[in-house]
């Protein structure tokens, strides 16, 4: 590149060409290497590009000429466009064309390496000036113009005036001798130079900067071109002088020059015509010429934020290579901070102008404005975004995933630094970021990650090193070696403890101590999740209950709610694996009650039948999506939920033929009804079909068929301890089959021997005995054992249909009376004390046997809270905003059976109602007294 500065003549052009090419080649190596084979498309493009280059240099002249013509053609076509626009009096498009023309001009000038402006351009200016004057003169036409057109006209007027000043002479000349400007094309060609194709390429890119974010490969090329462009531009502008200073006389560069330049570049942010990538390059250059470590640090901060600026839109993600460079810069920052402990990074302190002038040997603290945590968080979310945007089935995705350790190492170092300087609150935030990258990994995946990170001869790292080396080489080409050399103090490799648990525990204790509320809550959720995937249900459950998280989920932000839902799903799976069917059902049922699991877990967008989403909502939702590798397998989840529901619901249905007791799982009931309505039942295809087929078999007490249908599901292979789980499932199915059988057919038997039961259901005698005893104790089965003969003797206490209906009526009447009383209370404001308090149905049953309580806490909670649940069920179905939905759903999740800290409330409540019942008579008298008083 340096050769360009003095390379004007033809003799050197070839050499230059070569150099450019080699540079490009190395760049492409570097990028291709990092992207590996994954970015095959990018690599190909590069190859093609290279071929083009070499072709050009081989065949040389002819091709270049044609390109040259092409460029002239382009200019001509712009002029033609302008002419057309003039004809229809379209100032808007005219303005556009004018700008385009100017841009074009710059390149032509540069290419020509002469100060002379193409005659075609001058002619166009003249034309325009005339037309403008005409238009301004015609007042009436001006009035008729649309507002945008008029605006454009005014803008044009000013621009042209300014612009034309530069070319006043030529314009005058043109006006004088219009004929000499007619055949300019031929002359121009001769003056052209070999450099041209390069510039042309960049022209194409510059013309529409919007393309930048389109694809990575293009991006890279783009960047390369852009930086050349940037330097050329600079050279052509007034700071050419300073660059020369930088380049040729390293010793002359002072802090002030660098500072001035920095301010200039920083000020250019967001202005028109400053390429984002270009800014990054300029700043990167500055870091090398920085005079003091503090200044270098300051500039690095600007580089990093400029790198974040590269991607303008919220939806797209930061280009991968920029991200990587950003990571390197972060490490560099940390290096500096470690090397010079007297440099302090903060935002609160207002540094004076010359703060960074203090050199490395300065003794006091130097304040530099910056926010490490914010950078890190941004880095993390950019990483997440790339994964969100990438198709998970491509190699790109895997490749990107392999870069996770890169981030982890930065995070670890930042955290270490923050802990060292005592900013523990920020350290907790960083720790949370690390936790969020680790929490969903089971030990196997964690090990894989650890291995990946520790492999020294890994291709990835190799490439990185190479890239670094290459980079250095380019740097040397471009400018002087950095003044401030910072050794790599900070470790470049992440260190992981043996097990994910240890890592989590370490981070957790930091977060719990110093984190803010949200950080703590999220960390807690991650912790629970991690416990759940490591099959520690009891621990996970206790953490969830103790933290009272589900009380406050609906108040949390949406992403935390999603996390909460994920935790509940994982907890359900964990309980299922441990054979705790009721708990599993309790966890999962709320996720499935809306039929929007995908949305709740942020694992895909579900189309709603009832209302369309606005694009805005859709975009928001897409941004919340979980990257693919964090997904919870939905099929497995569904199977788990449905099987749990089946195991609970089938005996429940058999038990309550007469009184339609409240179904334990409405979703399951609904699915069952749908499947029963089918005229023909085909072989099961999806998970749902399988479970329905199993349900049908189980209903008949056919446990073998039920199990074999369930067993034939594909998803079981996803389970770690598959055999164990299936064994458990088999046992559960047998148990429930036995229960269902007894419920359904007990009325047909006078007695039934235990032996027969054990052979029918393939259960051990003891087990069967225990199940039947349990049913007897709960008064689900009206029977008792005859111990000497080992058989069940049934008591014929079954109600007739009439009696059953009567009982139902009694229930309904009591509900009626209750509501009457409530109405009275609401009216008078006092309680109706004379009346014995309403006896809950559940209570009546409970007192008579050792019943419901000893089912696990989840279901008992659910049952006790039955009344409440109805109240809740107005779940704001029509709330339009997706945000509202999410919140609403979090709410439901929170109800997931787990009654929070109120584990023992139900028992207590019962006691109280009992004691107040006793005081009934005394209360009646009091009512009378009251009444007298009132009248």
Partner 1 sequence: MAEHDLTPRLALHLDRHLVLPLLEFLQERGLYPEEEVLAAKLRLLAGTNMVDYAMAIHKSLHHGTDDDEVPEDMVARRAEVVASYVALQEAPSPLVAFLRDPQLVQLLRSDKQYNARMLQERFQIGSDQIEALYDNAKFQFECGFYSDAVAYLNQYRVLSTNGERTARALWGMLASEILNRNWDAALEELNRLKEIIDSKNSSSPLNQLQDRIWLMHWSLFIFFHHENGRNGIIDLFFQDRYLNAIQTNAHHLLRYLAIAVVVNKRRRNMLKELIKVIQHEQYCYKDPITEFLECLYVKYDFDGAQQKLMVCEQVILNDPFLGKCNEGNSITVPFRDEFFENARLFIFETYCHTHRCIDISILAEKLNMRCDEAELWIMNKIKSSKLDANIDSVSGTLNMTVNHVNVHDQIIESLKNLNKRTYMLAQNIVEPAQAALQAAQGD
Of 88 and 935, CB closest to partner 1: 935
* Assigned token pair, 806: 């009567």
Of 666 and 839, CB closest to partner 1: 839
Q: How far is the CB of 772 from partner 1 (least distance, A)?
A: 8
- Dist. CA 585–CA 590, nearest whole Å: 9
User: Closest Cα to residue 274, out of 225, 209, 219, 218?
Assistant: 209
CB 330 within 8 A of CB 304: yes
User: DSSP per residue over 476-523, as a string?
Assistant: HHHSPPPSS-----S-SS----SSHHHHHHHHHHHHHHH--HHHHHHH
DSSP state of 118: P
Q: How far is the CB of 490 from partner 1 (least distance, A)?
A: 36
- Dist. CA 296–CA 345, nearest whole Å: 13
Of 384 and 771, CB closest to partner 1: 771
Q: How far is the CB of 789 from partner 1 (least distance, A)?
A: 8
User: Closest Cα to residue 406, out of 470, 463, 337?
Assistant: 463
Q: How far is the CB of 796 from partner 1 (least distance, A)?
A: 9
Q: How far is the CB of 862 from partner 1 (least distance, A)?
A: 14
- All residues at 6 or more sequence positions from 211 whose CB lies less than 8 Å from its CB, including other chains: 205, 218, 222
Of 472 and 848, CB closest to partner 1: 848
Q: How far is the CB of 538 from partner 1 (least distance, A)?
A: 3
Q: How far is the CB of 503 from partner 1 (least distance, A)?
A: 24
Residue with tokens 């028109």: 272
Ranges of H-type helices in 656-762 = 666-677, 687-699, 703-711, 722-745, 754-761
Of 13 and 902, CB closest to partner 1: 902
* Assigned token pair, 642: 């449905």
Of 727 and 765, CB closest to partner 1: 765
CB 397 within 8 A of CB 391: yes
Q: How far is the CB of 836 from partner 1 (least distance, A)?
A: 7
DSSP state of 795: -
User: DSSP per residue over 184-250, as a string?
Assistant: HHHHHHHH--TTHHHHHHHHHHHH-GGGGGT-HHHHHHHHHHHHHHHHHHHHHSTTHHHHHHHHH-G
How many Å from the N-terminal Cα to the C-terminal Cα in the chain? 104
Of 9 and 933, CB closest to partner 1: 933
Of 113 and 811, CB closest to partner 1: 811
Q: Which helix (H) or strand (E) holds 824?
A: helix 801-828
Q: How far is the CB of 831 from partner 1 (least distance, A)?
A: 11
- φ/ψ (deg, to 5) at 655: -70, -30
User: Closest Cα to residue 448, out of 400, 496, 512?
Assistant: 496
User: Closest Cα to residue 297, out of 366, 364, 377?
Assistant: 366
Q: How far is the CB of 577 from partner 1 (least distance, A)?
A: 14
Q: How far is the CB of 270 from partner 1 (least distance, A)?
A: 49
- Dist. CA 212–CA 589, nearest whole Å: 46
- Dist. CA 289–CA 255, nearest whole Å: 9
Q: How far is the CB of 779 from partner 1 (least distance, A)?
A: 10
Residue with tokens 């999603």: 562
CB 497 within 8 A of CB 446: no
Q: State how beta strands 751-753 and 791-794 pair.
A: antiparallel
| Residues near partner 1, by CB under 8 A | 537-539, 542, 546, 766, 769-770, 773-774, 776-777, 782, 784-789, 793, 795, 797, 799, 803, 806-807, 810-811, 813-814, 817, 820-821, 824, 832, 834-836, 839, 850, 853-854, 856-857, 860, 901, 903-904, 907-908, 911, 924, 927, 931, 934-935
Of 560 and 861, CB closest to partner 1: 861
Of 15 and 855, CB closest to partner 1: 855
Q: Which value, in Å, is the radius of gyration of the alpha carbons in the chain?
A: 38
CA dihedral 513, 514, 518, 522 (to 10 degrees): -50
Q: How far is the CB of 272 from partner 1 (least distance, A)?
A: 57
Q: How far is the CB of 841 from partner 1 (least distance, A)?
A: 9
CB 427 within 8 A of CB 481: no
Of 394 and 856, CB closest to partner 1: 856
Q: Which helix (H) or strand (E) holds 896?
A: none
Q: How far is the CB of 834 from partner 1 (least distance, A)?
A: 5
Of 37 and 805, CB closest to partner 1: 805
Residue with tokens 């982890």: 408
Of 555 and 817, CB closest to partner 1: 817
- Dist. CA 661–CA 780, nearest whole Å: 13
Of 459 and 845, CB closest to partner 1: 845
Helices (H) and strands (E) in the chain, counts: 45, 5
Of 255 and 785, CB closest to partner 1: 785
Q: How far is the CB of 370 from partner 1 (least distance, A)?
A: 35
Q: What angle do CA 611, 615, 617 make, to 5 degrees?
A: 70
Q: How far is the CB of 725 from partner 1 (least distance, A)?
A: 18
Q: Which helix (H) or strand (E) holds 753?
A: strand 751-753
Of 54 and 848, CB closest to partner 1: 848
- Dist. CA 574–CA 576, nearest whole Å: 5
Of 539 and 634, CB closest to partner 1: 539
């Amino acid at each position: 590149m340096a050769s360009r500065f003095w390379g004007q003549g033809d003799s050197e052009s070839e050499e230059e060409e070569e150099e450019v090419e080699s540079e490009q080649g190395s760049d492409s190596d570097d990028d291709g290497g990092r992207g590996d084979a994954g970015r095959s498309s990018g690599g190909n493009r590069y190859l093609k590009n290279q071929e083009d280059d070499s072709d050009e240099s081989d065949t040389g002249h002819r091709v270049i000429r044609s390109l040259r013509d092409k460029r002239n053609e382009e200019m001509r076509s712009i002029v033609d466009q302008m002419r057309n626009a003039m004809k229809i009096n379209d100032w808007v498009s005219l303005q556009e064309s004018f700008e385009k023309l100017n841009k074009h001009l710059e390149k032509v000038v540069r290419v020509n390496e002469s100060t002379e402006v193409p005659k075609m351009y001058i002619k166009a200016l003249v034309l325009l000036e005339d037309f403008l004057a005409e238009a301004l003169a015609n007042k009436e036409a001006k009035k008729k113009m649309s507002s945008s057109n008029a605006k454009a006209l005014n803008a044009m007027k000013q621009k042209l005036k300014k612009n034309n000043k530069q070319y006043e002479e030529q314009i005058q000349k043109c006006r004088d001798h219009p004929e000499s400007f007619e055949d300019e094309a031929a002359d121009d060609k001769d003056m052209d130079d070999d450099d041209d194709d390069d510039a042309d390429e960049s022209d194409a890119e510059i013309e529409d900067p919007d393309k930048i974010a389109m694809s990575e490969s293009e991006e890279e090329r783009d960047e390369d071109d852009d930086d050349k462009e940037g330097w050329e531009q600079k050279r052509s502008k007034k700071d050419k002088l300073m660059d020369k200073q930088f380049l040729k006389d390293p010793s002359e560069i002072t802090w002030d020059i660098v500072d001035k330049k920095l301010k200039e570049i920083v000020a250019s942010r967001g202005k028109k015509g400053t390429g984002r990538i270009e800014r990054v390059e300029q700043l990167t250059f500055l870091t090398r010429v920085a005079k003091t470590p503090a200044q270098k640090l300051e500039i690095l901060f600007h580089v990093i934020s400029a790198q974040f600026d590269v991607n303008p839109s919220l939806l797209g993600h930061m280009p991968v290579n920029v991200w990587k460079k950003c990571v390197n810069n972060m490490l560099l920052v940390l290096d500096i901070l470690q090397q010079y402990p007297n440099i302090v990074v903060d935002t609160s302190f207002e540094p004076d102008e010359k703060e960074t002038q203090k050199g490395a040997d300065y003794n006091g603290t130097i304040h530099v404005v910056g926010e490490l945590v914010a950078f890190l968080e941004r880095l993390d979310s950019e990483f997440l975004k790339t994964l969100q945007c990438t198709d998970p089935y491509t190699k790109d995705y895997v490749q990107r995933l392999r870069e996770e350790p890169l981030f982890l190492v930065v995070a670890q170092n930042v955290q270490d630094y923050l802990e060292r300087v005592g900013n523990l609150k920020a350290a907790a935030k960083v720790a949370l970021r690390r936790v969020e990258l680790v929490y969903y990994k089971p030990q196997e995946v964690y090990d894989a990650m650890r291995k990946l990170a520790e492999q020294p001869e890994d291709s990835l790292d190799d490439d990185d090193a190479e890239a670094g080396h290459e980079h250095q080489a380019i740097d040397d080409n471009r400018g002087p070696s950095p003044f401030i050399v910072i050794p790599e103090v900070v470790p470049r490799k992440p260190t992981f403890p043996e097990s994910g648990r240890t890592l989590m525990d370490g981070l957790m204790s930091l977060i719990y101590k110093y984190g803010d509320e949200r950080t703590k809550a999220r960390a807690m959720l991650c912790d629970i999740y991690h416990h759940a995937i490591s099959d520690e249900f009891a621990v996970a459950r206790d953490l969830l209950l103790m933290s009272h998280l589900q009380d406050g989920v609906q108040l949390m932000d949406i992403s935390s709610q999603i996390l909460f839902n994920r935790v509940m799903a994982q907890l359900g799976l964990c309980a299922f694996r441990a054979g705790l069917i009721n708990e599993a059902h309790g966890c999962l049922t709320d996720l499935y009650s809306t039929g929007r699991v995908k949305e709740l877990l942020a694992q895909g967008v579900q189309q709603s039948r009832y209302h369309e989403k606005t694009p805005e909502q859709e975009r928001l939702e897409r941004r919340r999506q979980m990257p693919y590798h964090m997904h919870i397998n939905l099929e497995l989840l569904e199977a788990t939920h449905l099987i749990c529901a089946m195991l609970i619901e089938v005996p429940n249905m058999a038990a309550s033929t007469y009184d339609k007791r409240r179904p334990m799982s409405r979703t399951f009931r609904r699915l069952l009804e749908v499947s029963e309505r089918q005229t023909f039942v085909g072989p099961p295809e999806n998970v749902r079909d399988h479970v329905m087929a199993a349900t049908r078999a189980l209903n008949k007490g056919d446990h073998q068929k039920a199990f074999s249908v369930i067993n034939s599901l594909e998803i079981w292979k996803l389970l770690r301890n598959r055999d164990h789980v299936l064994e458990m499932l088999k046992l559960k199915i047998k148990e429930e089959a036995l229960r269902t059988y007894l419920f359904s057919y007990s009325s047909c038997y006078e007695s039934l021997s235990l032996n027969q039961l054990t052979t029918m259901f393939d259960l051990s005698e003891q087990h069967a005995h225990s199940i039947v005893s349990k049913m007897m104790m709960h008064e689900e089965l009206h029977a008792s054992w005859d111990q000497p003969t080992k058989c069940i003797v049934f008591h014929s206490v079954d109600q007739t249909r009439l009696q059953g209906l009567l009982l139902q009526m009694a229930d309904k009447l009591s509900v009626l009376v209750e509501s009457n009383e409530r109405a009275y209370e609401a009216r008078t404001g006092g309680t109706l004390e004379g009346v014995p308090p309403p006896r809950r149905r559940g209570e009546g049953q409970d007192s008579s046997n050792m019943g419901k309580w000893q089912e696990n806490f989840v279901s008992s909670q659910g049952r006790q809270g039955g009344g409440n649940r109805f109240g809740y069920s107005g779940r704001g179905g029509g709330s339009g905003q997706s945000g509202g939905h999410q919140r609403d759903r979090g709410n439901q999740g929170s109800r997931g059976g787990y009654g929070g800290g109120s584990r023992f409330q139900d028992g207590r409540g019962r006691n109280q109602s009992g004691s107040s019942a006793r005081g009934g008579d005394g209360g009646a008298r009091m009512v009378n007294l009251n009444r007298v008083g009132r009248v």
